[in-house]
Structures are given as structure tokens and as C-alpha cells.
């Protein structure tokens, strides 16, 4: 694997993973229409790990609070204390993220079919257009008032269902879950935070499973410099991509990415026809 190829894929992963434009869709288009080579399993795992780290850096305070509250919850189960009223916000956030992750279980039996859709650039082009429509809708939604303090189990499940649908290539996970969060009344800033934090269990689980597969396939040590370069670029660009999404969502301009998605969808469909 060349350093240039690794850098390109790292850049695409870091940008498209968090900006609402679908990283899976872009990688599939590059492979199907432009003959970009298949990414080996280990490199794919490492790129996702790099973007996972970028989420942890941006939301490090929230993650530390959630870990502390999860540990506290386990301790309370072993040594119950008198009722202290409503649970702390960080503890409620952990619960809501767990609930929002549950709908992904529904997707597991259909994983092979979803993977096959990555080979259909017609489907991906249409999915880009759908993502554009979702983003166009997002800026027209009122800024809600719900946060981890008062969102409901039903809210978390609805957002989780949206995340399950967003496993389809070309449908942006961040774009659809942030819009879904705003649709159930979440505050814009919290909708962004919840979208990224709820991705942690899913991405971490996928990384662990894929890493086991990668080890079985074998590791080519000659590619280690390319792996490290790709990871560094994915992590750095991912960090700034999250910052951009947070800023635009707070200003109510998150949906501006719809124009890019509309253009990407049209170009993908046209290229599929003529190539």
C-alpha cells in the first residue's frame, strides 16, 4: 500500500465519517466507479479506531463522567443506597446511549445484504439524495429543549432506529441521527453530542470484531508506515470535522451539507450510467 493511497483514504475517512455526507458511500463510489483498490481489513479497522479516538478527545469530559457514573451504578447495585432522587445527567446519558444502541441488533441478520448494496452505485446515488433531503429538513426544525436530563426512552429508541437505517451505504449516520434527535425535540447542541457519543458502542464493537478477522487474515508489516499515516490523518481531520459539525449545528446551518449530497447523488447516478 502506497503512502499516498493511505493518506487519501485517511482523509476521506476523517472528513466523511463525521460530516453528514456518508463515508461508506464515498468509499464505495471510489471503489466501484474509479477502480480504487479494496481496503484491507486491518487498515479499515485502524481508520475507524482513529476516528473513534477523535470522538473521545472532543467529548472527553462527557466520556469520563459517563465512565464514573457507570462505575457508580455498578457499586450502587452491589451496595444499595437510600433513594437519592433523580439519577445524575451523566448516568441518564449512559442509559439513553445503551437504549439507542439496541436497534442495531435488528440489522445484524441483514448485514450481508447491506454489504451487497455497497456494490450498487445506483442505490448509493439515490441514498445520497435521501441524505440531502434529510439535511435540508434539519435546518427547518425548531431548536428543542430536551437534553440527557429529560429525554425519554422512546426518544432514544427512535434515534436508535434511525441509526440502524443509516447502516445503508450512502445514508449519513451523523446527518440522520442528528436530524432524528432534533425531530424528537433534542436541543441542537445536545443532538450533535448524543449522535457522536451513541456511535461509540457500535464503532467499538465493530472494531473489535473486525480486528479479530484482520488478525486471522495476517498482518503485512511492510504496510505499517502507511497504516500509521492513514490513522494520523483520519484522526486529525476527524477531530476538526466534529468541531465543524458542532459549530454549524449551533448556528442552525447544519443542513447546508444537503447541497453537496444532492450534487454527489446526481453525479454518482450519471457516472453509473455513462461509465
Q: What is the pTM of this model?
A: 0.88
Q: What are the grid coordinates assigned to 130, written together?
A: 435521501
Which pLDDT band, with edges at 50, 70 and 90, does 86 fall under? low
Q: So what's the pLDDT on residue 195? A: 94
Predicted local confidence at residue 84, as pLDDT: 57
Note the pLDDT of residue 87.
65
Which pLDDT belongs to residue 85? 55
Report the pLDDT value the prediction gives residue 265, as an integer from 0 to 100.
Answer: 95
Axis crossing angle, helix 89-101 with helix 188-217, rounded to the nearest 10: 50
Amino acid at each position: 500500500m502506497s503512502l499516498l493511497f493511505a493518506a487519501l483514504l485517511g482523509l476521506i475517512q476523517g472528513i466523511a465519517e463525521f460530516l453528514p455526507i456518508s463515508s461508506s458511500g464515498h468509499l464505495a463510489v471510489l471503489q466501484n466507479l474509479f477502480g480504487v483498490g479494496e481496503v484491507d481489513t486491518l487498515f479499515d479497522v485502524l481508520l475507524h479506531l482513529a476516528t473513534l479516538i477523535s470522538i473521545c478527545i472532543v467529548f472527553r469530559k462527557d466520556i469520563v463522567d459517563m465512565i464514573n457514573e457507570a462505575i457508580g451504578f455498578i457499586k450502587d447495585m452491589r451496595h444499595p443506597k437510600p433513594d437519592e432522587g433523580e439519577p445524575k445527567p451523566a448516568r441518564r446519558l449512559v442509559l439513553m446511549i445503551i437504549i439507542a444502541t439496541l436497534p442495531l441488533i435488528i440489522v445484524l441478520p441483514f448485514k450481508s445484504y447491506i454489504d451487497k448494496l455497497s456494490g450498487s452505485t445506483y442505490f448509493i446515488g439515490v441514498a445520497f439524495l435521501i441524505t440531502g433531503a434529510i439535511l435540508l429538513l434539519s435546518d427547518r426544525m425548531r431548536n428543542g429543549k430536551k437534553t440527557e436530563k429529560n429525554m425519554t426512552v422512546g426518544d432514544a429508541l427512535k434515534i436508535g432506529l434511525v441509526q440502524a437505517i443509516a447502516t445503508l451505504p450512502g445514508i449519513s449516520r451523523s446527518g440522520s441521527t442528528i436530524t432524528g434527535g432534533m425531530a424528537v425535540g433534542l436541543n441542537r447542541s445536545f443532538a450533535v453530542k448524543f449522535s457522536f457519543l451513541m456511535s461509540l458502542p457500535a464503532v467499538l464493537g465493530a472494531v473489535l470484531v473486525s480486528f479479530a478477522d484482520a488478525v486471522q487474515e495476517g498482518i503485512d508489516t511492510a504496510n505499517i508506515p502507511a497504516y500509521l499515516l492513514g490513522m494520523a490523518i483520519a484522526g486529525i481531520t476527524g477531530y476538526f470535522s466534529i468541531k465543524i459539525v458542532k459549530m454549524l449545528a449551533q448556528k442552525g446551518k447544519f443542513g447546508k451539507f444537503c447541497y453537496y449530497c444532492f450534487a454527489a447523488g446526481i453525479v454518482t447516478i450519471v457516472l453509473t450510467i455513462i461509465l
